[in-house]
A = this chain, B = another copy of it.
């Protein structure tokens, strides 16, 4: 089976597993106050070239989004997001469950921009609307598209002007860094808060939440506790991120995943396949005849979404585990079936 279903189907990278086995057999301090976590935070701060950020480790993407977005919003404040945004479309009402309304923007490519944010903001000026306070984007987006450094800078300038926070959901940030001109040391100056996803990039589980803006640091630990987001054995998260960041493994894995996706996209393009969205990162979406899906699924795993009666959207995801052979096999199958 050529695996393109998602980028979280493996246990973890070998060096991550190795590091975990080295954790003290006993006597570790709980709740993230241990030395592994401490070292992991220092390593990430080193890469970010910022000492004054707060870093917390969380178990997964949805809980990380909940914490990042809702910890320091007032009850009457709301969020602006693309309607395709993960928090709006794939998290079962997680943000609304905290009492907050997401004001959505329709997009072609899953990306917000200064203009679309301003327009939505201007529609929320009356007292019968929520008061917009946080803008949500993700790098990479749900459609696999990628923001350039300039694009995010422009969005962030707009956010600051409108007195809104900018949060970048980085569940796939490792690929995002490989696929864009955004450097890891840019991150702290182009948003107020962001995540560095581990689950989809070598960790067993874990997302690093990086809080740049002091206003968003306030009581974040209490809020994490309230949402069930503080793990007793926090040291295991720390150990994983130590392994990912001490020698640049995190970036390497993202780069490999991105390179595989380039290989895949180019091969598909050469075949003349119809893309559903411009392939820019490790999620590649194509339109494919409904009748041929079954055949393709025999040796290849991928996600299928509705489009029309005749065609469906297929999503192929690469990861650092994807091999060039898998890609070539998939392409061969596609050609065979055509």
Q: Which residues of A does B touch, CB under 8 Å?
A: 1, 3, 5-6, 8-11, 17, 20-21, 23-30, 59-66, 70-78, 89-94, 96-102, 127-131, 199-200, 204-205, 218-219, 221-223, 225-233, 236, 301, 321
Contacts and interface: CB of A to CB of B under 8 A. Distances in A.
A116 to B, nearest CB: 16
13 contacts: A6-B30, A9-B29, A10-B24, A63-B228, A66-B228, A74-B223, A76-B223, A91-B225, A91-B226, A92-B129, A92-B222, A96-B99, A130-B226
Contact of A75 (B97, B130, B200): B97
A59 B62 contact: no
B27 A11 contact: no
Given A227-B94, A228-B227, A25 B10 contact: yes
B228 A94 contact: yes
Count copies of this chain in the complex: 4
B205 A231 contact: yes
A176 to B, nearest CB: 18
B236 A11 contact: yes
B74 A72 contact: yes
A130 B102 CA distance: 14
B8 A26 contact: no
The 3 closest A-B pairs by CB, nearest first: A63-B228, A93-B101, A62-B228
Given A228-B60, A236-B205, A218 B93 contact: no
A96 B101 contact: yes
Given A11-B23, A130-B222, A321-B26, A232 B60 contact: yes
Contacts of A222: 76, 92, 127-131
Contacts of A97: 75, 98-99, 101, 226-227
Contacts of A78: 93
B66 A76 contact: no
Given A27-B1, A59-B59, A93-B76, A232 B205 contact: yes
Contact of A8 (B89, B228, B233): B233
A301 B232 contact: no
Contacts of A26: 3, 9-10, 321
Nearest to A63: B228
Nearest to A100: B96
Given A92-B127, A97-B75, A204-B236, A11 B25 contact: yes
A232 B199 contact: yes
A225 B9 contact: no
A63 B232 CA distance: 12
Nearest to A122: B306
Contacts of A321: 25-26
A145 to B, nearest CB: 21
Given A127-B221, A233-B205, A17 B11 contact: no
B98 A228 contact: no
